[in-house]
Structure 1
Amino acid sequence: MFIFGQAWKMLCRHPLRSLLIVLVSAAIAMWSTFGGAVLQENHKARTETLDKQSNTAVIRPSSQLLETRQGDDSSWTEHYLSWSDYDKLASAGQTQGMQYKYTVAESVPVRESKSVQAITTGKTSDASADKTGGNLTLQSFYTAEAAQANEYGPYEVVEGKGLDYQNSLAQNVLISEALAKKNNLKVGSTITIGNPTDAKKTYEYTVVGIYRYTGNPDNAQGDDAKFAKDNRNNVLYTTYTTFAVNGFDTTKGKGWSIPDLNVVFTFQNRSDIDKFAAALKADLPKGFTVSSPTITHYMQSIEALGTLAGTTRIIMIVLWICGALALLGLVLLAALPRSNEIGMGMLVGLSKGRLAWQFMLETFMPTLVGLAVGLVLGACTANPLAGALGAQHDVHATGGLVWQVIWIGVLCSVALAIVAGLRVTFFRTIRLFESPYISDSADSED
């Protein structure tokens, strides 16, 4: 207890230096815990979680081809792929031994009515519905897997419920929050839309849910869209069955009545998507590309996390180097100028071992306190701090990470304590017999 008491007295005698050791240790431990959690979550997101994503592939117009599209020129529908086109492409994939499942998404522009008016801005074209097919878009999905590959971006239902893909009699749609707000619509409201090429044909739907987008694909347009129907907040979502029952799934349509067919292929492995793209290369229509919307959406969702992980890694390295140098400097500052104290202790009967243990405790205690404080702060603030730094992803310090920080921190504390203890070990005993009052010149005269 005597050694502990002496070590504590020495720490209290130099409060500023002791506080600095605690603060530096806490800063290193906190950022190591937080940074480790970010790096761990980023690695998990790009490996384990990525492997769980649906491996879908679609054959859609490239960005370059989409730039030539004019929303008031129905001849653009000549670029749409038909069922026969997909049959040819699917056969090309099967000849290479590709195994896949598929589902369908299909859409047409539709006319607005008094019950539902499209969102427009000052930049929105005022072209008539006879030219554009309408200011709204009716997008259908055959299954939930098709909805996951939505080219307008992933969405979540925030009010009401999602689409029932098993109900063939339902006349339900999902509408965006913005569209609901503009038209004072709510779950249960009834809306009427019109046929793209025949204004006299109308269809009545019930709003079963209100959605909000959770991602923003590169080609998806919002209020910046030239034509209202291309604003993704003007998209009405329904099931493929409802879409077909109302006659939109037709091979006899003209102009904007021709549905934009999008077959979504699903593979067991992500690597199969690249093989599928290679197999289709020779038969792929000009201007079309093979891509994976689900993987693209997911990678975009973790982009901010990856950016934070890169920044965090750099800060961790800098903090480790600067923190280690600062702690080493503080330990040496506390240990080196104490020759007289070591000598006096040995004169009163203290061994080098006990003095070295005291020096080690003077280092060990504040570094362990800093480690504990930093560890708790880092673990408790990991998720809110990551959110404040724009991670857009949940980040948590796992038990394995916490234990890793603990044992590495303890090892570093022990290493610093050993450095302090070595100061006593290397003290020369002969200095106990040196008198400061006898000079070398006096010795030479004798």
Structure 2
Amino acid sequence: MFVLSNAWRALMRSKGRTALTALITLVVTFGTVAGLAVVQENTTAHTDDYDVQKATLAVRPSTASWKKVSPTDSASTKHYMTWTDYTEYATIIQQAGVTLDFTVTETVPARVSGDLKAVSGDKLGSASDDKTGGQLIWRAFWTKDAASASDLGTFKIVSGKNLSYDNQSSDPDTTSALVSSEFAKANGLKVGDKFKVATASDASTTYELTVRGIYEYTADSTADNPVVTARNRENAIFTNYQTFAKAGLDPQTGDSSVSGWKVPDLNVVFNATDAASYKKLVNTFKKSKLPASGYTVSSPSLESYTKSLEPLDAVAGNVKTGTIVLLAVGGVLLLALVLAGVWGPKRDDEIGMALVSGVSRGRLGWQFMLEVFFVTLPFYVIGLVAGVFGTKPLAAAIVSGHEVTASSSLIWQMVWGGLGTILVLAILAALRLAFFRADKLFAADGDWGSVSETETIESESNHDDAEAQA
């Protein structure tokens, strides 16, 4: 109890320093947990999480080939991928002993019909519909996965229902369509309303569609096809494949020698399962000298995932630097505060009085260690717990799309690292006794007098003894 009470009284004599030490311990601990959690998540996102991402594989025209495609020249659609092109890749995949499923997206321009009007904002200028194929975009998705991978941007249904992708149905839905909220507003369309769209190749050929749902985009477009990007994506009409085919827009259902705006932008996306399988397939293509000149192999899903890491990368870089600075500055301040608490004339008085009173240096060293434990350990625990539970909501406000949490390994690293640091500080405080010299016992100002006074007393005492002996 003597050591505990003395340690507590010593801290209360310097409340300002005690409070500052506790605050720095709390801030450094919380900031370190949060910072290291963000850095750890960033590292994991680039390694373990990347490796298990669903990897798609797409073969598309290269940037150079897309430059040859014009939104006002129907003949430039010859640069699109065809079913024959994709069959070559599918054959190589099968020969490699890999079984993959795939999904398809087909896109053609379309014209407004009757009172229907397109949303303004296109880049087609004053070119006529005969030259451009129209201001609308008709896009067909084979599956829900194809819709999720749309390069026009992901979207959500805000009214009505999504499309039906039951390709095995004996009575498929061949009239339903999704329209954007802006397109619906411009044309006064509601769920259940019907409207007609004219084909790009012939204004007199129309097809009636029914609004099944109204959507809004939730991400920016990544489309690179000039025919698509020249049009306002709010003018995109989405249907399933059966509706697209029923309208006679799929070359498989008609003449295989179609040309001009009848040629759809065909986008077949293979499911390569994971990043490792995708890399394996890319290497397989290279051995077969594919892709051919003017085309590239890519993974839209992996590219999208990598792009989603950019905000996390930026935050992690700043956080890493901030955490290092926080640890360095906080460590120096804590060391300075701990040493300031055990050095100085007042502590010399205290040590001297205690030693003269019979208190051992060991007990005093333990007292100094307790002073460090009292002012750091509880606040370290509080900072650690707050960091563990507060990191997730704090990171969510800074980085969206990634869940940042303090892993068990990080928590244990913080536990042992923090306890080790506190123990080192406590030992440094206890070592103060090793530097206290015995000749200082009566050197400090106060009730103990001074060394010179003590020497005078001893001299007079010796003189009196000598006279008595004489």
TM-score relative to the length of structure 1: 0.87
For the structure 1 residues 112 and 14, does the alpha-carbon distance in structure 2 shift closer, same or farther, using more than 3 Å as the test? farther
Q: Which amino acid aligns with 2:250?
A: D
Distance 1:189 1:207 in 2: 6
For the structure 1 residues 351 and 159, does the alpha-carbon distance in structure 2 shift closer, same or farther, using more than 3 Å as the test? farther
Distance 2:4 2:292 in 1: 81
User: 1:298 maps to which residue?
Assistant: 305
Indicate conservation of the 8 Å contact 2:105/2:146, yes or no: yes
For the structure 1 residues 51 and 321, does the alpha-carbon distance in structure 2 shift closer, same or farther, using more than 3 Å as the test? same
Distance 1:45 1:115 in 2: 50
User: 2:178 maps to which residue?
Assistant: 174
The answer on 1:250 being equivalent to 2:251 is: yes
Q: Quote how far apart the aligned CAs of 1:48 are.
A: 3.9
- Residue ranges of structure 2 left out of the alignment (5+ in a row): 444-448, 463-470
The answer on 1:364 being equivalent to 2:373 is: yes
For the structure 1 residues 313 and 397, does the alpha-carbon distance in structure 2 shift closer, same or farther, using more than 3 Å as the test? same
For the structure 1 residues 181 and 382, does the alpha-carbon distance in structure 2 shift closer, same or farther, using more than 3 Å as the test? farther
SS in 1 for 2:365: helix
User: 1:438 maps to which residue?
Assistant: 452
Q: Which amino acid aligns with 2:264?
A: P
Indicate conservation of the 8 Å contact 2:200/2:261, yes or no: yes
For the structure 1 residues 179 and 45, does the alpha-carbon distance in structure 2 shift closer, same or farther, using more than 3 Å as the test? farther
User: 2:342 maps to which residue?
Assistant: 335
Q: Which amino acid aligns with 1:135?
A: Q
SS in 1 for 2:414: helix
Indicate conservation of the 8 Å contact 2:92/2:285, yes or no: yes
Q: Which amino acid aligns with 1:349?
A: G
SS in 2 for 1:164: coil
User: 2:422 maps to which residue?
Assistant: 413
Q: Quote how far apart the aligned CAs of 1:400 are.
A: 5.1
Q: How does 1:315-330 map to 2 (within 5 A)?
A: 315-330=322-337
Distance 2:179 2:42 in 1: 33
Q: Which amino acid aligns with 1:419?
A: L
SS in 2 for 1:111: strand
Q: Which amino acid aligns with 1:17?
A: R
Distance 1:339 1:347 in 2: 12
Indicate conservation of the 8 Å contact 2:53/2:275, yes or no: no
Indicate conservation of the 8 Å contact 1:152/1:217, yes or no: yes
SS in 2 for 1:57: strand
Indicate conservation of the 8 Å contact 1:98/1:272, yes or no: no
**Structure 1 residues 149-158 or 426-435, which shifts more?**
426-435
Q: Quote how far apart the aligned CAs of 1:328 are.
A: 0.8
Indicate conservation of the 8 Å contact 1:29/1:375, yes or no: yes
Per-residue deviation, residues 323-359 of structure 1 (Å, max 9, x unmatched)? 1111111111111222221111122232222222221
Indicate conservation of the 8 Å contact 2:161/2:213, yes or no: yes
**Structure 1 residues 356-365 or 292-301, which shifts more?**
356-365
For the structure 1 residues 47 and 437, does the alpha-carbon distance in structure 2 shift closer, same or farther, using more than 3 Å as the test? closer
Q: Quote how far apart the aligned CAs of 1:266 are.
A: 1.7
SS in 1 for 2:405: coil
SS in 2 for 1:413: helix
* Counterpart pick for 2:359 among 328, 332, 350: 350
**Structure 1 residues 11-20 or 179-188, which shifts more?**
179-188
How many residue pairs get matched? 442
The answer on 1:196 being equivalent to 2:196 is: no
For the structure 1 residues 33 and 175, does the alpha-carbon distance in structure 2 shift closer, same or farther, using more than 3 Å as the test? farther
Distance 2:122 2:81 in 1: 33
User: 2:146 maps to which residue?
Assistant: 146
Distance 1:124 1:7 in 2: 81
SS in 1 for 2:318: helix
* Counterpart pick for 1:428 among 434, 437, 462: 437
Indicate conservation of the 8 Å contact 1:62/1:287, yes or no: yes
Q: Which amino acid aligns with 1:73?
A: D
Indicate conservation of the 8 Å contact 1:109/1:133, yes or no: yes
For the structure 1 residues 371 and 206, does the alpha-carbon distance in structure 2 shift closer, same or farther, using more than 3 Å as the test? farther
For the structure 1 residues 72 and 409, does the alpha-carbon distance in structure 2 shift closer, same or farther, using more than 3 Å as the test? same
The answer on 1:378 being equivalent to 2:392 is: no
User: 1:24 maps to which residue?
Assistant: 24
Indicate conservation of the 8 Å contact 2:201/2:262, yes or no: yes
Distance 2:159 2:426 in 1: 60
* Counterpart pick for 1:280 among 266, 285, 295: 285
For the structure 1 residues 241 and 226, does the alpha-carbon distance in structure 2 shift closer, same or farther, using more than 3 Å as the test? closer
**Structure 1 residues 294-303 or 188-197, which shifts more?**
188-197
SS in 2 for 1:153: coil
Q: Quote how far apart the aligned CAs of 1:105 are.
A: 1.5
Indicate conservation of the 8 Å contact 1:32/1:316, yes or no: yes
Distance 1:45 1:425 in 2: 50
Distance 1:17 1:115 in 2: 78
Indicate conservation of the 8 Å contact 2:109/2:134, yes or no: yes
Indicate conservation of the 8 Å contact 2:141/2:240, yes or no: yes
Q: Which amino acid aligns with 1:418?
A: I
TM-score relative to the length of structure 2: 0.83
Indicate conservation of the 8 Å contact 1:382/1:395, yes or no: yes
User: 2:213 maps to which residue?
Assistant: 209
- Residue ranges of structure 1 left out of the alignment (5+ in a row): none
